[in-house]
Amino acid sequence: MLEPIIFYSVIAAVSILAVCLGFISLLFKRNMDKFYALVDEEVHMRGIHLKANEYLQAASTQANQIIASATTFSNQEKANLQESIRKSSSTQAEQYASVLNELVRLLREDTAGQINNFHAQLLKQVSETENLMKSEADKQIQEYKKIWFEKIDSSMIEIVQNASKEILGKQISLSDHEDYVIKVLERSKSTHVF
C-alpha cells in the first residue's frame, strides 16, 4: 500500500518540476530573443553612427573644397565660411553622437532591466517550485507516517490481544471455566437472547 503512495508522489513531484522547467525555459527563450534583438539593434545603430560620421566628414571636406575653389569670396570670407562649416559639422556630429549614445544607454538599461526581470522571475519560480515540492513532500511524509503509525498501533494492539488470549487460555482452571459458562448463560437469560 505504501509503495504506490511513494510512486505517485514521485510522479506528481516530477510532473510539477517538469511544468516549472517548461515555464522557465519559455521565459528564458523569450528573454534571450529580446536580448539578441537589442544587441542587433545596438550593432545596427553603431553602424548608422559610423556611416553618418563618414557622410558628415565627406560633406565637410566637399564643402571646404568648393569654398577653396570659389573666386567670389575673399580669403577672409572663405576662412569664415570654412570655420562655420567645420563648427556646424562638429556640432551636428556631437548632437548626433549624443542622441546615439543616449539611445545605446536606453537600450542597455532596457536589456539590463529585462535580464534583471528574468532573473527575479526565475528566482521566484524556483522558490515557488521548491515550496510546492516541499509542501507536497511534507504532506506525503505525514501521510506515510500516519499510515505506519496506524499499522504499528494495530500490530501492537493485536500482539497484546493475542498475548491476553494466550495467557487467559492457559490460566483458567476447569472450575473457573465451568463457573464462567454458567455465568454467561445466566447473563444471557436476562438479555433474552434465546
Partner 1 sequence: MSSNNALSQIKTKEELDSFKEGINALIAASFKVDKEKFANVLKQSFDQNQAGIIEQEIKGIDSAELVDNSLRELLKNINQIEEVKLLLAFSPKLAFIERLSFWFKNQFGQNTMLDISVDPAILGGTIVAYKGKYIDLSLAKELDEYFIKNHDKIKSKF
Region of 5-13, 22-30, 128-136, 173-181 interacting with partner 1 (CB under 8 A): 173-181
Q: How far is the CB of 166 from partner 1 (least distance, A)?
A: 10
Is residue 190 part of the contact set for partner 1 (CB under 8 A)? no
Nearer to partner 1, 116 or 154 (CB): 154
| Whether 70 contacts 117, CB under 8 Å | no
Site string for partner 1, 111-150 (x = CB under 8 A): ----------------------------------------
Is residue 151 part of the contact set for partner 1 (CB under 8 A)? no
Q: How far is the CB of 117 from partner 1 (least distance, A)?
A: 55
Is residue 164 part of the contact set for partner 1 (CB under 8 A)? yes
Q: Vertex 90, ends 96 and 47: CA angle to 5°? A: 40
Size of site (CB under 8 A) for partner 1: 24
Nearer to partner 1, 4 or 194 (CB): 194
Is residue 161 part of the contact set for partner 1 (CB under 8 A)? yes
| Whether 132 contacts 16, CB under 8 Å | yes
| Whether 9 contacts 140, CB under 8 Å | yes
Q: How far is the CB of 193 from partner 1 (least distance, A)?
A: 5
Is residue 1 part of the contact set for partner 1 (CB under 8 A)? no
Given the rule CB under 8 A, which residues bind partner 1? 153, 156-157, 160-161, 164-165, 168-169, 172, 174, 176-178, 180-182, 184-185, 187-189, 193-194
